[in-house]
């Protein structure tokens, strides 16, 4: 069902400072900041050639990332995103197996302009999983 690893997301307390560390410290290709109001975050993608790193920061205290940052004030790995060919079929299969799709269960448009859903971390060994239709 899953395809390529699309990205690994790292929640950070300061998006600009984190992007600078990757750009200056590692010589990474750092993309432009995007605001994803529907998801309550600001993001910057770093292209690593074979996948991406997504740096994300909460827009405000109501962001889903805000609770994560309260528990992890220095930041940390937030989720892993896998590509799927058919998101509706993936949701159907996962829910039939007892996995919980977060939110209302319906896809939202993600940072790449494609439909995404998140699967509860308790259903995947403590790791939040994002599925992105490609």
pLDDT of res. 65: 93
Q: What is the mean pLDDT of residues 37-51?
A: 95
Within 8 A by CB and 6+ apart from 13, the residues are 57, 69, 73, 74, 75
Res 66 pLDDT > 90 = yes
**Is domain 2-133 in CATH 3.10.180.10, yes or no?**
yes
Distance CA 69, CA 49 (A): 28
CA 29 to chain centre: 19
Catalytic residues: 130
Distance CA 65, CA 77 (A): 11
Within 8 A by CB and 6+ apart from 38, the residues are 108, 109
User: Would you kindly state where each structural domain of the chain is located, as residue ranges?
Assistant: 2-133
The answer to whether the beta carbons of residues 79 and 124 sit under 8 Å apart is: no
pTM: 0.94
pLDDT of res. 1: 87
Per-residue pLDDT tens digits for 70-90: 999 999 999 999 999 999 999
């Amino acid at each position: 069902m899953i395809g390529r690893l699309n990205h690994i997301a790292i929640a950070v307390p300061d998006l600009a400072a984190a992007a600078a560390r990757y750009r200056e410290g590692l010589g990474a290709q750092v993309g432009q900041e995007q605001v994803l109001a529907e998801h309550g975050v600001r993001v910057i993608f770093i292209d690593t050639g074979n996948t991406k790193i997504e740096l994300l920061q909460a827009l405000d205290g109501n962001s889903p990332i805000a609770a994560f940052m309260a528990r992890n004030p220095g930041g940390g790995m937030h989720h892993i995103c896998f590509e799927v060919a058919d998101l509706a079929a993936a949701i159907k299969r996962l829910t039939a197996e007892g996995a919980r799709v977060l939110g209302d269960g319906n896809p939202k448009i993600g940072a790449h302009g494609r439909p995404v859903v998140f699967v509860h971390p308790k259903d995947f060994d403590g790791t939040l999983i994002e599925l992105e239709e490609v």
